[in-house]
Chains A and B, each alone.
Chain A
Amino acid sequence: MSAIKSVDNLPNDGEKFDSSKVALVKGISLILGGGLTALFFILWLFLPGQMQQSMAYSWLFAVVFFMTLSIGGIFWTLLHHATNSGWGVVVRRLMETLGSLIPLYFILALPLLLPGPRDALWEWFEARQEMIQAGKDHSSPEHLEAAKAEWGQSVAAAEKKLAAVKAKKEKESATATATAGEKYNLEQQVIAAEGKLEVAKASEPTAEELASEGQLHANVGLYKKRGYLNEVFWYARYVGYFLVLGGIIYFLRSWSIKQDQTGDFRYFRWMRRGSCGFLPLFAASWTFVVVDWLMALDYTWFSTMWGVYLFAGSALNSMAILIAALTWLRSRGFLKDVVSMEHYHIMGKLMFSFVVFWAYIAFSQFFLIWYANITEETKFYLTRNTAYWNAYAIGFLVIGHFFLPFAGMLLRRVKTVPYVLTGIALWNLCMHVLDIYWIIIPERGPSLTQGKEMVIPGAIYFDILAFVAVGGLTVFLFLSRLAKASLYPCQDPRLEESLNLVN
Chain B
Amino acid sequence: MKRAFAYVAEFDSAAAIYHAAEQVRDAGYKKWDVHTPYPVHGMDHAMGLGKSWLSGVVLCGGLTGFCTALFLQFFTQVDLYPTVVQGKPTNLNTVPAFFPVTFELTILFSAFAVLFGLLAFVMLPRWNHPLFGSKKFARFSDDGFILVIEARDAKFQEADTKEFLLSTGASGVELVEEEF
Contacts and interface: CB of A to CB of B under 8 A. Distances in A.
Contacts of B100: 367
Interface string A409-442: 0101000000000000000000000000000000
B55 interface: yes
B125 interface: no
Contact of A410 (B41, B59, B86, B99): B59
Contacts of B99: 363, 367
Q: Is the interface of A mostly helix, strand, loop or mixed?
A: helix
A250 interface: no
Contact of A371 (B42, B45, B51, B86): B86
Interface in B15-53: 41-42, 45-46, 51
The DSSP consensus for interface residues of chain B is helix
A502 B42 contact: yes
A412 B51 contact: yes
A373 B51 contact: no
Nearest to A373: B86
Interface residues of B, number: 14
B97 interface: yes
A412 B55 contact: yes
A424 B149 CA distance: 43
A234 interface: no
A1 interface: yes
A461 interface: no
A366 interface: yes
Nearest to A500: B41
Contacts of A366: 96
A410 B55 CA distance: 10
Contacts of A412: 51, 55
A373 B87 CA distance: 10
Contact of B96 (A370, A410, A502): A370
Contacts of B42: 1, 502
Contacts of A373: 86-87
Nearest to A503: B41
Nearest to B62: A410
B46 A1 contact: yes
Contacts of A371: 86, 88, 96-97
Contacts of B87: 373
A1 B97 contact: no
A2 to B, nearest CB: 9
A412 B55 CA distance: 10
A76 B4 CA distance: 55
Given A1-B46, A410-B59, A502 B86 contact: no
Interface in A339-398: 363, 366-367, 370-371, 373
A225 B46 CA distance: 64
A412 B96 CA distance: 29
Interface in A280-330: none
B22 to A, nearest CB: 9
B179 to A, nearest CB: 39
Considering the complex of A and B, which 3 residue pairs feature the smallest CB-CB distances, nearest first?
A: A1-B42, A502-B41, A1-B45
Interface of A: 1, 363, 366-367, 370-371, 373, 410, 412, 502
Interface of B: 41-42, 45-46, 51, 55, 59, 86-88, 96-97, 99-100
13 contacts: A1-B42, A1-B45, A1-B46, A367-B96, A367-B99, A370-B96, A371-B96, A371-B97, A373-B86, A373-B87, A410-B59, A412-B51, A412-B55
